[in-house]
Amino acid sequence: MKLTRAILTLMAMLVTALLTGCGTISTMGKLEDGAGAEANRMWTRWVDGGGDIAVATTWERKVKDGVTGDDIEQILRSVATERNMKEVGILPLSKELAARTGQKQKLLTVYSFCTPTTAREMVDFSPNMAAYLPCRVTVVEKEDGLWLYTLNMDMMVKMGRKLPSPLKEHATAVRDTIYEMMERASKGEF
C-alpha cells in the first residue's frame, strides 16, 4: 500500500510538473526547505482520509478520558497567556444549538487566538493568509469522547514560499503555541 501510494504521489508530481512546466520549477526554488516532504505528508493524509481535504489540512488530538471541556478551556487560556497569544473569541456552538432546539447537544466549541503583530506581518506577506485568521482550536464531542482540531500550522511555516526573517520566527512561534495547546489540552496538562 505504501509503495503504491509513493508511486501515485511521484506520478502526480511528475504529471503536475509536466503540465505546468517552467512555472513549477521556478516556484519550487522559492519554497521552504522540506516543503515537498510536508506536501507528501498532506497527500498521504488526504489519501488515508478518503479524499477529505479537511483531514489533509488539520491536526487532531483525542482528549484523554477524564479531561473536561472546562479543563480544555483553562489549559488553552493558560498556554495562550504563557506564550503571549491573545484570546480573541469563543464560539459555543453546542450551547447555541441547545438554546435553539431546547435539547442537550454534544460539545462543540471554537476557541480563537491571535498574535496581532504576527497576523499583520503574515497578511502583508500574503494577503490570502487573512482567510486563515485567527488561529482556532475546536473541541468536538464524538461518540468516543472529546477531540481537538486545528489547522495544520506546518503548512504555513514549512510548505509555502520562504518566509523572511523575522516573520519566519514569529510564524514558527505561533505554530509552536497552537501545537502546545493541542498537546497539553489533549492530555489535561495544566
Domain range enclosing 140: 59-187
Total number of domains constituting the chain: 1
Residue 113 falls within a domain, yes or no? yes
Portion of the chain with pLDDT greater than 90, in percent? 81
Residue 32 falls within a domain, yes or no? no
- Do residues 175 and 154 touch, judged by C-beta distance below 8 A? yes
* 23: amino acid identity, one letter: G
Q: How far is Cα 171 from Cα 156, in angstroms, rounded to an integer? A: 8
Q: Is the pLDDT of residue 124 over 70?
A: yes
Residue 155 falls within a domain, yes or no? yes
Q: Is the pLDDT of residue 84 over 80?
A: yes
> The CATH number of the domain where 149 resides is what?
3.30.310.70
- Burial of 61-81, coded b for 16+ CB within 10 Å and e otherwise, reads bebeeebebebbbebbbebbe
Question: Which pLDDT score, from 0 to 100, does residue 129 have?
Answer: 95
Residue 34 falls within a domain, yes or no? no
- Listed residue (141, 33, 51) closest to 95, CA to CA: 141
Q: Is the pLDDT of residue 142 over 90?
A: yes
Weakest mean pLDDT among 23-32, 97-106, 133-142:
23-32
Residue 154 falls within a domain, yes or no? yes
Question: Which pLDDT score, from 0 to 100, does residue 29 have?
Answer: 79
H/E stretch holding 183 reads helix 167-187
Residue 33 falls within a domain, yes or no? no
Residue 163 falls within a domain, yes or no? yes
Digit-coded pLDDT (tens) for 27-83? 777 888 889 899 999 999 999 999 999 999 999 999 999 999 999 999 999 999 999
Report the mean per-residue pLDDT for the chain.
92
Q: How confident is the model at residue 20 (pLDDT cuts 50, 70, 90)?
A: low
Residue 7 falls within a domain, yes or no? no
Query: How many other CB atoms are there within 10 angstroms of residue 109's CB atom?
Result: 19
Q: Is the pLDDT of residue 13 over 80?
A: no
